[in-house]
Each structure stands twice: as structure tokens, then as C-alpha cells.
Amino acid sequence: MKHFSELSGAAERVVDVAEVLIQQAGYNGFSYDDVARQVGIKKPSIHHHFPTKADLVAVVAQRYTHRFRQELLGIEGKHAKAAQRLTAYAALFEATYAQDQRLCVCGMLGAEAQGLPPEVRQEVNYFFAANLEWLTHVFASGAAQGGLRLSTTPQAHAQLFLCALEGAMVVGRGGTPTMGPAMVGESLISLMLA
């Protein structure tokens, strides 16, 4: 598969637009023509960069995951305590959601997963696995350092935290203003403070 680091300028603009469209409407909710119009080129030019829709979306997910992992490293460099890291982690989701209630790319694709091409599913899966691994480490450290009080395994806390944030982006999108990821994350963290 193509790697996002090898994209030309035009191809990168295509990925930029496709990413937002996926966050808004999902894999089945946008077309090559939507992308073409927003980028300002024609449909066949999109196919030139990404022969199939599966190619395009896989690269979108790949780049999204890579950037997310960069953010995780950034959090590790900026915060020492587990609770601070979790707050910063929730803020990543909040930053996306604050832009017109955009969804996590992989949250949206995860919901649609059953009908997606394998290469896309694989990238989505990798995103969740990487996040769970990172969160598991944070919870284990928090428990060891005494800052967090766990009621079960670090793995289960990681799963719970990720699910709560992904869910926060889905719930209430219908219209009624509800709590966003940052507040949901804060509620959960407050339950685990030692």
C-alpha cells in the first residue's frame, strides 16, 4: 500500500479533504466527486492519485493514526502524571469534536467496519490497538505511582477510557447538546483519582 509520506502536494490535499468528509459522513457517505469539487480538480485526477476508494481511505486512516501517535508522544513529553496524561488524551478527542462535532476517523470507520474493504479495516484496527496499548501503559503507571486507583486491570481501564471518548463523539450528535469528550473524560478520571 502507498505510504502517506510519499504523497505529492496534490495528493495530500486530496487526503485532507477526504479525512474531513469521512469524519462528517463516513466511508459510504462521500464520493470521489465530493472530494474533487472541494479540492478543485476533476474526478479522474483523484483516481490518478488513488486508483480506488479503498486506497484513498486506507491512506487517510494510516496518516490519521500516525499523527495520533505523534500526539501521544507529545503528551508523554509534556506530562508526567497519569491523570494529566489522560486529561491531555481526552483533549485530543475534544479538539476534533469541537470542529463541527467531527468524529474520530477510526471511530466512524469502526462503526462502518463490517462493510469496509480489508485494507481499511486493518488500519482502523491498528489505530485502536495502538491507543489501547498506550492507555494500558498509562493506567499501569498511574496505579504503580499511586496517582490512580484502579478497580480492575489496566487493560480494562484502557478499554473503558477509549470507549467512553469514542462514544462521546457519537452520542448527542443528533441535536441535543450533551457533554463532549473532554467532560466525559474528566468525569471518568475523577472516579479514578486515588
Chain contacts with DNA (rule: CB under 7 A): 8, 10-11, 30-34, 36, 41-45, 47-49, 51-54
Do the Cβ atoms of 60 and 46 come closer than 8 Å? no
Rounded Cα distance between 183 and 97, Å, is 12
Do the Cβ atoms of 155 and 136 come closer than 8 Å? yes
Q: How many CB atoms lie within 10 A of CB 176?
A: 7
Q: How far is the CB of 77 from its own copies (least distance, A)?
A: 26
Q: Which is nearer to DNA, 36 or 59 (CB)?
A: 36
Find the helix packing angle between 82-97 and 154-170, rounded to 10°: 20
Q: Which is nearer to its own copies, 110 or 141 (CB)?
A: 110
Q: Which is nearer to its own copies, 42 or 171 (CB)?
A: 171
Q: How far is the CB of 119 from DNA (least distance, A)?
A: 12
Q: How far is the CB of 61 from DNA (least distance, A)?
A: 16
The listed partner (its own copies, DNA, none) that binds 163, CB under 5 to 8 Å by sort, is its own copies
The beta strand positions in 101-160, using DSSP E, are none
